[in-house]
């Protein structure tokens, strides 16, 4: 049973390595030119060759993403809290929340620099616009799913609204809240990169644009690799935070070696 559990744990890494090997073999056998589809080895060499430049652009993108992500979390928390306690506000503003997600990001990436300049502000606004929606929706659903019997019990015991919120509502909504954080963590990097496609002087999006114009697809995919790694790391950080802060929702299973059941 332990061997089976170990295999399940390492299965994603095995599948990923197999896909990389197939990619390498196909490029080699078909003799595909690097400007069309570089092999994983060529992408790795590009990362090593431009590591200093990539590090500079990565830090710029990560700074934009994290600034927008933190603001989105704060904004989403306040909006969810207000809408959960004011039904008429929820009826009025919920369509607007949905409407913010229907605007194509590339349109925002073009318009916001015109309105706010080519500095950091328009990039952070794009990240906030993309990230706050999953957080606020998940948190609102979590707050709405609190057990009514527990709420009635606390009210009957004379609990104040803040006591009810911190002792009943927030713990019950925490798993949904972290689900929204997990989704937005991946969106934050993507939104920062898209915001850099127009009017940026640094960042992975800017680096990809310059590399694409030079037909250096290996550099483009090197930047994409870093973007994927950053997204995975952010999701993992959210997982660790949930594990530490929400112990009642830890997804840990102890397998019985005799029954083979969780």
Q: Which residue has the higher pLDDT, 246 or 8?
A: 246
Structural domain spans, the chain? 53-249
- Give the pLDDT band (50/70/90) at residue 256: very low
Radius of gyration of the chain (CA): 23
Q: Which residue has the higher pLDDT, 254 or 193?
A: 193
pLDDT, position 257: 42
- Give the torsion through C-alpha atoms of 234, 236, 241, 243, to 10 deg: 160
| 161 token code pair | 């609204």
CA distance 234 to 232: 5
Q: What is the mean pLDDT of residues 234-257?
A: 74
pLDDT, position 251: 59
CA distance 228 to 226: 5
pLDDT, position 235: 92
Quick: pLDDT tens for 95-126.
Answer: 777 877 777 878 888 888 888 888 888 899 99
pLDDT, position 259: 44
Q: For the chain, list the strands marked E by DSSP.
A: none
| 194 token code pair | 């898209």
Distances (CA, A) of 39 to 12, 13, 28, 212: 20, 19, 8, 16
Fold of 53-249: MetI-like fold (1.10.3720)
pLDDT, position 253: 39
pLDDT, position 97: 78
């Amino acid at each position: 049973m332990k061997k089976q559990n170990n295999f399940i744990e390492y299965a994603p890494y095995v599948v990923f390595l197999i896909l990389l090997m197939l990619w390498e073999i196909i490029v080699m056998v078909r003799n595909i030119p690097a400007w069309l589809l570089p092999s994983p080895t060529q992408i790795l060499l590009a990362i090593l060759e431009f590591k200093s430049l990539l590090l500079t652009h990565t830090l710029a993108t990560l700074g934009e993403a994290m600034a927008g992500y933190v603001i989105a979390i704060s904004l989403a928390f306040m909006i969810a809290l207000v809408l959960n306690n004011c039904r008429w506000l929820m009826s009025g503003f919920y369509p607007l929340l949905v409407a913010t997600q229907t605007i194509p990001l590339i349109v925002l990436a073009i318009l916001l620099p015109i309105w706010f300049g080519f500095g950091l502000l328009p990039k952070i606004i794009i990240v906030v616009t993309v990230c706050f929606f999953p957080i606020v929706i998940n948190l609102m659903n979590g707050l709405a799913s609190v057990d009514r019997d527990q709420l009635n019990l606390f009210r009957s015991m004379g609990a104040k609204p803040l006591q009810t919120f911190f002792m009943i509502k927030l713990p019950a909504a925490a798993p949904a809240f972290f689900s929204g954080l997990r989704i937005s963590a991946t969106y934050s990097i993507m939104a920062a990169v898209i915001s850099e496609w127009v009017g940026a002087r640094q960042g992975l999006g800017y680096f990809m644009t310059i590399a694409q114009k030079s037909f250096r697809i290996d550099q483009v995919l090197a930047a994409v690799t870093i973007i994927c790694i950053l997204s995975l790391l952010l999701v993992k950080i959210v997982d660790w935070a949930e594990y530490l802060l929400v112990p009642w929702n830890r997804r840990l299973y102890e397998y019985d070696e005799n029954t083979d059941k969780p």
